[in-house]
Structure 1
C-alpha cells in the first residue's frame, strides 16, 4: 500500500507523511527522493531557493536551497527570516451564539462564596520566597503523615506550591509585579479553599506588602507567617500545621453541586509537539473550545512565542481593533525581549519538536493556534492577570509549559487540556490537567499518562467527533473524575512563576 499523506491546503507545496515514506515510493504524483519520517514533510513541487514553503496555506519558512519534488523538507533545506504579516483587525469577529443557561451542559463543581466555581477543593501552602520552600514542604508532609485528611473526604489535598524566586529582584519592577499577580491568582483560584502563606522574613517579596496591595486580611481560610518572626524552622512548621488543621474542617464544608458549563475556564496547552499536533489534537481541542464557548464558558490560549507567525490569523478574529493591537504589541515585546537576551524567536521549536517533524516556529505556531478554535477573540491579558471575559481569550505567557500554565491558573483556569505529540509528563495542581495524544504510537506507548487519543483522527474519526469527546471528558474531570496525571500524583512541583528581569 502507498504510504498515507495529508495535504492541508490546496496552496501547500508540501504534504505530511502519516506513514513513513521510503525512498522511491510514489506519493502525491511524485517519487520520494529520500526517506521521510512520520509527521515530516515532503515537497510536491519545485521550491526554488528563497521561495516560501507553504503548509496550512501559510508560510512556515523559506527554502535555503533549491528543493526538488520528492525531497524531505526540514532543517537541512528550510530557514526562517522576517516577513510581513497582514494584521487586519476584527474582520472575522461576530457575535457568538451562547445557549441559554437552562440548555447548557452541566458539571458538579464547588460553588465559592464569591460566586466562582472550583473543580477541585485544595488547601494550598504558598511561599513568598525560595528560602521558605522546604518549610512549606515540611508542613505538607506532616499533614500527610498524620492521616488527618481521611477525616475530610471533600478535600482533595494539602499542596505546597513552592518556587525558585522571591528575592534578589527589583521590588519596583516588572518581575515583582508578575510574581505578585501570580501569587494572588493562586490564592484566589476557585480550586483553592484555604491558604497558608509562609516566608523567610527578609526577602524582597514581602508578605505584608503583598497583603496590603490586595486588601488581604488574616482569616479562617488565610494565614501568613515568616520563619524569622515565628522562631525558626521547627516552630514555623508546627505553627503552619496547626493553621492547616484549623482550616481543614472549614474547607471540608464545600460540597459539589450541579452548575452550568459556563463556569468552566479551560486553559489550553501543548507540549512535546510533533508534526501531527496541528492536524489531530490541536484542531480537535479547538473544536471542543468552540463547544465550550457555545455553552457560555471561557478558554485561554497562551504561549505567545508559539503563536508567533500565526498572530495575524488571531487579529482577524479579535472582537475589536484594540484587542487585536494589544496582541500585536505583545508580539513586538517578545521580539525585543529575545533580541536583548541574544536569542531569536526560532530558538523554539525544541529538538524534540524537530524530531517530531516541526521545522520552524512558524510551522509550530500555525498548529498551536488551532487549539483556540474558530470563535471571536474576546480579550487579551497579561501574564497571571485575572481573566474576566467569557469566550475565547489570549494570555501572554512564555512557551515553556509549566510557566505558561502557572499564568493561566493564576488567571482563574479551573481545568486544563494539554496536547502532546512526543509525550509530556505534566500535572498542574490545583487545576486538573487532561492529556491529549496527537498520534496512536504515543498514546499506546504512554497510555498511563494519556487521557485521550487523537491519533484516530488520522484513521477517519472527524475533528467534530473528537472535539465532542474532549468536551465530554472535560465535564467529567471537572466533576471530580481523576485525570491520568492526577492519578499518577503530578502537580506539586509544577508551580513555576515567570521570572522576568535580572536576578541580582
Structure 2
C-alpha cells in the first residue's frame, strides 16, 4: 500500500491516505498493521511509551495513555488531551511574516460600489427581525415575495433575505449580550451586500426598533425602514406591509450595477466545519495560500473560532504585529478557558464525534490544522465578536466554533465572501454573503457534488501543489465575488444560518 504522510520530521505519527486493513504494511513502515485503520487516521512512526508526547505537524497534540508500538493506530483509545504549555514567543516570526507576501499583479472583480466606499458582492434586500417575536412574520413575508415573482424583473436584485433569530427580549437592555446582538443586526443591515433594509419588531421587546433607528443618520430615508407588528395591526397586516415596502424599495435597489472594483475591497471569512484528518493537509493549507493572495492584493482575511485555535495560538502570536494585538488574543483565549470551566466543560469537548471519526483526536490536533487557513502573513488586528473589521491584512475575530454563530459574526464584521473547508461534509450556506465550500478529499468531492464548490484531494495524490490549489481558490473567490453562483446559493441555503451569539442571562 502507499506510504503514509509524514508532515514534519519531528512527528511521532504519520497519516494514512487510504484505508488500511489488518496485515497491510504501509510503504516505509516495515511493520504490519494489527487492525484496520481508516484513511486520515494516524499510526505510530516510533514506539511510544505511556505518557510520551504525541507529535503531529511538529507540535504536541496529546499524551499516549499506554505503550503504543510502531505501526499501531493512534487515536482516542490511546491518546489524550493535555493542557499545552503557554510559552509564547510573541512576534518571533513577524519579520519572516512580513516578507511572506507573494508578489502579485493587482486585479479586480465585478462588484457593487456603495456610497460609503465599500463594495458588495451581492445586492440583497434584507428583512431584519429585532426580536424572535417578529421572526415568523419576516420569514412568511420573504417566502411570499420569492414565490410571487415580484422581484423577477429586477435583474440587479439578488433577492430578499429574512434575518430571523431566537433572541431580542428576555435579556438585559445593556451589557455584552445586548451589545453583541445590536452589532450583529446593524452589521447585517449596513452590510455592503445589502442594498436596503427593513427592520421589523413586535413593539414591546428589549431590542427596540427605535434603538436601531437612532443609527440611521442621513441614509435613513433611502436605505433603512422600520415597522412593528403591534403598530401595523397584527401578523397579516404586517406581512402585507412588508411586501408593500419591498415593492417600493426594489426599483431603487435595482439601480445598483456591477463595476470593476479592486480585490483590496474584499473581506474574506475563513471557516472550517466537519473537519477530518485531511483538513490540515489539503484544504486548510491551500486556503492559507489563497488568504495570502488576498492580503497581497490589499484585502482582508478573517480567521475566527477561538476554541478551534486553542493550543495553536502560539503560531498566530509569533506573527502578531504588536504587543497590543498579542495581548488581546491571549485575553480571548483566557476568557474561553474560564467560560468553559464555569460551564463544567473542557476545551477538548471540541472536536465533535464526526471530527473524531475523520481522524482528529484532540482539540490541539484540530487547532493546528485549522490555523493553516490563516496563511503566513502578519496578524494585524484582533476583534471582538461582530465588530466592524477596519484593518487590511490577516485579522482574527473572537467567535465560538459553532459554524452558524461564527459566520454570523464574520458577516456582521463586513465579510462579503465566506470560504468553508470541510472533510466530513457540510450543507452550510450563508446570506447575504455567499459561502464557497472546499472538500478535503476526492471521496467527499465525489460523494457530495451538489454541495462542494472545489475539491482539494488532488493535493494528496500529488496531481497539484498546495500553491497551485491556493491559486485556484483565489480565482474561485474572485469569480464568486463577481456574481458566479456558489453551490450553496444554487441550493437556496443560508436562510437558517443567521445565528447571533446569545451570551448573558436569559430572563
Query: Per-residue deviation at 1:99?
Result: 9.0
The separation in 2 between residues aligned to 1:416 and 1:190, in whole angstroms, is: 14
Question: Partner residue of 2:69?
Answer: 68
Q: Which runs of 5+ in 1 are unaligned?
A: none
Determine helix, strand or coil for the equivalent of 1:151. Answer: coil
1:450 aligns with 2:449: no
Q: CA offsets, 1:3-60, max 9 Å, x none?
A: 3310100100000000122222223334123321100000011111111100000011
Question: After the TM superposition, which segments of 4 or more aligned residues of structure 1 sit over 4 Å from their partners?
Answer: 96-101, 213-217
Contact conserved, 2:100 with 2:377, CA < 8 A, in 1? Answer: no
Match in the other structure for 1:85: 86
Give the 5 Å matches for 1:436-475.
436-460=438-462, 461-475=464-478
Q: Figure out how many residues of one structure are paired with residues of the other and give that number.
A: 502
Q: Which deviations, in whole Å up to 9, do the C-alpha atoms of 1:203-257 show, x marking residues without a partner?
A: 1111212333565864122111111121111221122211111110110000000
What TM-score do the two structures reach when normalised by structure 1?
0.97
- What CA distance in whole angstroms lies between the structure 2 residues aligned with 1:349 and 1:294? 32
Supply the distance in 1 between the matched residues of 2:408 and 2:374 (Cα, whole angstroms): 18
In the alignment, does 2:134 pair up with 1:132? Answer: yes
2:500 aligned with 1:497, yes or no?
A: yes
The alpha carbon displacement at 1:84 in A equals 1.0
Q: Match for residue 483 of structure 2?
A: 480
What's the CA shift for 1:70? 1.2
Aligned with 2:417 (options 415, 418, 436) = 415
For 1:81 and 1:97, the matched residues in 2 are separated by: 32
Per the alignment, do residues 87 and 211 of structure 1 end up closer, same or farther by CA in structure 2, a change over 3 Å counting?
farther
Matched residue SS, 1:220:
helix
Q: 1:228 to 1:373 in 2, by over 3 A?
A: same
Deviation at 1:146, TM superposition (A): 2.9
Determine the C-alpha separation between the residues in 2 that align with 1:427 and 1:366: 25
Which of 346, 349, 373 is the matching residue for 2:348? 346
Cα root mean square deviation, aligned: 1.5
Question: Aligned partners of 2:172 and 2:99: how far apart in 1?
Answer: 43
Secondary structure of the structure 2 residue equivalent to 1:305:
helix
Task: Report the Cα offset of residue 196 of structure 1.
Answer: 0.4
Task: Give the SS at the match of 1:219.
Answer: helix
Q: Unaligned 5+ residue runs, structure 2? A: none
Give the one of 388, 393, 396 matched to 2:395: 393
Q: Residue 52 in 1 paired to residue 57 in 2?
A: no
SS in 2 for 1:36: coil
SS of residue paired to 2:152:
helix
Aligned runs of 1:222-371 on 2, under 5 Å? 222-371=224-373
8 Å CA contact 2:131, 2:168 repeated in 1:
yes
Secondary structure of residue in 2 paired with 1:308: coil
Q: C-alpha distance in 2, partners of 1:38/1:371?
A: 22
Matched, 1:7 2:18: no
Distance 1:135 1:391, change over 3 A: same
Q: Answer whether contact 2:102 2:293 (CA < 8 A) is retained.
A: no
Distance in 1 between residues matched to 2:328 and 2:232, nearest whole Å: 45
CA contact (8 A) 1:13 1:55 kept: yes
Q: What is the rounded CA distance, in whole Å, between the counterparts of 2:482 and 2:354 in structure 1? A: 34
TM-aligned CA deviation for residue 383 of structure 1 = 0.4
Give the TM-score of the pair, scaled to structure 2: 0.96
Contact 1:96 1:376 in 2 (8 A): no
Name whichever of 461-470 and 172-181 sits farther off: 172-181
Q: Deviations over 1:451-501 (max 9, x none)?
A: 100000001110001000000010000000001111111111110100112
CA distance in structure 1 between the partners assigned to 2:103 and 2:388 by the alignment = 25
Aligned partners of 1:404, 1:371: CA distance in 2, in Å? 15
Instruction: Indicate the residue corresponding to 2:25 in structure 1.
Output: 26
Deviations 1:419-453 (A, max 9, x none): 00010001101111101000000000001110100
Find the aligned partners of 1:99 and 1:331 in 2 and give their Cα distance: 30
SS at match of 1:69: coil
- 1 CA distance for matches of 2:475 and 2:148? 37
Q: In 1, Cα distance between the equivalents of 2:119 and 2:249?
A: 19
